[in-house]
Chains A and B, each alone.
Chain A
Amino acid sequence: MDCNELLNTATDVAYALLESGAEIYRVEETVMRIYAAYGAREGHIFAIPTLLILSLQDEDGKNLTTIRRLGNHGSDLARVNAYNELCRTVCRERPPFSQIHQELARIGRLPHYTPLQQIAAGGVVAFGFTFLFGGSAIDALCALAWGVLVKLILFLLEKYHANSFFTTIVASFAAAALALTGFWLGLGENLDKIIIGVLMNLVPGVVLTNVMRDMIAGDLVAGLTKLAQALITATGIALGTGVAISLGRVILGVVG
């Protein structure tokens, strides 16, 4: 067995999983299972959301280690599921490494929803939550429009790799500013419901769930990193909306 090849394959699988937003324990467990399936003597992995360290000892007792850095990454459940399924097959059937790489490449090519679909979805998210939190039909329709625009702004900012704190501030400022201006023009009945509905597009729900799952699994470092991210996002939302509302009071005289 080629230990170097095994290490590389395990690293690729781990990287793919982590990049799709899988929990830390899933990444680490997967690697340990792959090591075990291919009969590695001694192997370890350490993962946090932005870094992977894998090591492996070959038959002669020589140590191999690899480190891989990750940038910011979102969540892609379809890929997490597919990689998870792949790992099961790998551990059961122990296919040659080239086949694993082919499978990884295939999963990597799985489709995303198109930007247009995602922008529309952003509008519907705002629409649904405005209703859910007690807004009227008119409120929900306003939220739909503002949600689409906010999602569009998010897309543009992400396209040019603006940092995520800044992105959140700008997007939540836009959410509140649009809702306020609309309200001032007579669109909508409950300003707060509209704003909250649109803001649901920005709240760190995904990150918060990941924090819990990482912390419960005992991956405290990873959990704390993500918790910081969740708190920063929440602060960004409060700042952006706060500025918009303060300005709205001064300029438009709308008290939301």
Chain B
Amino acid sequence: MNLLLPCVYAFVACFAYCFIVNIRGQMLFWAPLGASIGWLVYLLCGFFAQDLLCYFLATVVVSAYAELMARIKRVPATGFLLIGIFPMVPGGGIYYTMKYCIDGDTALFLETGIHTFGIAGCLALGVLVVTSILHLAHTIRHMRQA
């Protein structure tokens, strides 16, 4: 239950966010599902890995899911990726960074700020790895055929 409930919450929140970026039809189910899977991976990784690594691994899974669904549904991967990553966007990081700044706690402020940037970096790296590998595979296949 400790793992399942958060995934349901992520699904609900991301389902609602679909209405804001005008996602319609079947994707209303498949895009938030990616967010749930991503969050599940994030939580599972938390048992053995350090925080930033969790974000990275979860993003890798979300990107792979997005690329897979894009090929199955024949639509751009962007929608799946966008919604899938959304729960991991460091909204809390921004908030706590600012809060420690106001508190005048410089050490915590810097630490949280850098951590927030770290999360953003991990998300970028996760997407980068999957997209680049797929691109490489695609190019190699084309060169073989030619």
Residues in chain A within 8 A of chain B (CB atoms): 21-23, 26, 74-81, 84-85, 112-113, 117-118, 120-125, 127-129, 131-133, 192, 195-196, 199-201, 203-206, 208-213, 215-216, 234, 237-238, 241-242, 245-246, 256
Contacts and interface: CB of A to CB of B under 8 A. Distances in A.
With most chain A CB atoms within 10 A of its CB, the pick from B13, B96, B120 is B13
Contacts of B120: 208
Nearest to A249: B102
Interface stretch (B21-29, B50-58, B137-145): B21-29
Would you call the interface of chain B mostly helix, strand, loop, or mixed? helix
B56 to A, nearest CB: 13
A77 B17 CA distance: 12
Contacts of B15: 124, 128
A117 B75 CA distance: 24
Interface residues of B, number: 48
Nearest to A134: B6
B98 A242 contact: yes
27 contacts: A23-B78, A74-B21, A75-B21, A77-B76, A77-B79, A81-B27, A81-B76, A84-B75, A113-B19, A113-B22, A121-B18, A121-B19, A125-B16, A127-B12, A128-B9, A128-B16, A129-B9, A129-B13, A192-B92, A196-B91, A205-B82, A206-B82, A208-B123, A212-B127, A216-B127, A238-B98, A245-B102
A35 B82 CA distance: 30
Interface in B1-55: 6, 9-25, 27, 39
A199 B19 contact: no
B128 interface: yes
Contacts of A117: 19
B19 A76 contact: no
A246 B104 CA distance: 12
Nearest to B97: A238
A154 B114 CA distance: 29
A203 B94 contact: yes
Nearest to A203: B91
Q: Which 6 A-B pairs have the closest CB atoms?
A: A128-B13, A124-B16, A121-B19, A238-B98, A205-B89, A132-B9
